[in-house]
Every structure is written in C-alpha cells, then in structure tokens.
Structure 1
Amino acid sequence: MSKYVLCIVLMFLLVKPEPSTAVTCDPMQLSSCASAISSSSPPSAMCCAKLKEQKPCLCQYMKNPNLQKLINSPNSRKVAIQCGSPFPSC
C-alpha cells in the first residue's frame, strides 16, 4: 500500500498545473483581420488566431466609440464566424 501512496505523491509533484495566461486587450492585435473585414476575402490563419486570443476583449472593444462601428459591422461578425469564434453576447 505504501508504494501506491508514494507513486501518487510523486505524480502530484511531477505534474505541474499550467499557468493561466491573461489576455492583454489590444485592438491592434486584430490588424491582421483588416483586409478580411474591409473586403470579402477570407480571414488568414493569423487573423483567426488573434481573434480567438482577443475574444475576451471584444465586449470592451464594442463599448469603445472609436471601435464600435468596426467591431459591430456585418463583415466583422462574418469573419468571426468563418474563424469559428462567434461574437460573445455583451
């Protein structure tokens, strides 16, 4: 029985929990999506990655009068859907 306890203790010591990474809200991170939003071209892989990364910030961006029209545009929502990251309901 003590061998099992020792194995369990060793497992807990060896397995490190992954630290959670905080998102830095920076609308400039979405600049790779500009061409997809302004035209009908498909979003790039970089755009989709950045959009998913910045998703927790989208509600904050929608409240910003300078970004509101861009973020709420039909093309922005279309890009988000194409990237598999629909907009949150704020």
Structure 2
Amino acid sequence: MKVLVYWAAVVVALALVAAAGGGQVAMAAVRCSPAELSSCASAITTASPPSRLCCRKLREQKPCLCNYLKNPTLGKFVNTPNARKVAAACRTPFPKC
C-alpha cells in the first residue's frame, strides 16, 4: 500500500513537472509528457508484467526517454532495474543516451 501511495505521489510530481513545461518537448509529432507513462507505474514498482497500454505508451514516448533520463527529477525513476525489465518486456530497447 505504501508503494502505491508513493507511486501516486511520483505520478503527480511528474504531471506537475510536465505541466510546468519541464517535461514537455515537441519531438517529431511526439508530445513528451512523463505523465503518459503512468500506466507503467505498477509494472515498474512491483515488477508485475506491463499492460498493453503501458507498452503502447512506452513506445510512443520512446523519443523522449533520453530527455527523461537526463532530467535529475525523472531519471531516478526511469533508470531502474524494473524500468529496464518493463522496456524489455515491451520489446522497446532501453535508450543509450
């Protein structure tokens, strides 16, 4: 339960960063928004299999992942072993930035 509360706070923080412009960058018709990856929260925090929605959103946000990794606020959530497992399960190569 604590993990869910923690992750909800993270998602809200990411949404606030995105709303403030820190997480939104237009890249080749992709609107970078870390909040788009909220469907991956349970897979990243609990190591459960990612949903189809999570994988679709991860593929959509793929051009943005390096920016997320380079952002000190977001990078610590994106660059985790479970996040790498989610990317592998979704057949989306983890970026090498």
TM-score (norm 2): 0.70
Which residue number in structure 1 is paired with residue 67 of structure 2?
Answer: 60
Structure possessing the higher relative contact order (Cα contacts under 8 Å, 6 or more residues apart): 1
1: CA distance, partners of 2:55 / 2:87: 8
Percent identical pairs in the alignment equals 64
Greater Rg by CA? 1
Superposition map of 1:1-90 within 5 A: 22-90=29-97
Gaps of 5+ in 1: 1-20
How many aligned positions are there? 70
Question: How large is the RMSD of aligned CA atoms in angstroms?
Answer: 0.9
Gaps of 5+ in 2: 1-27
> Greater strand share, 1 or 2?
2
TM-score (norm 1): 0.75
Runs of 4 or more off by more than 3 Å in structure 1?
A: none
DSSP 3-state at the match of 1:66: helix
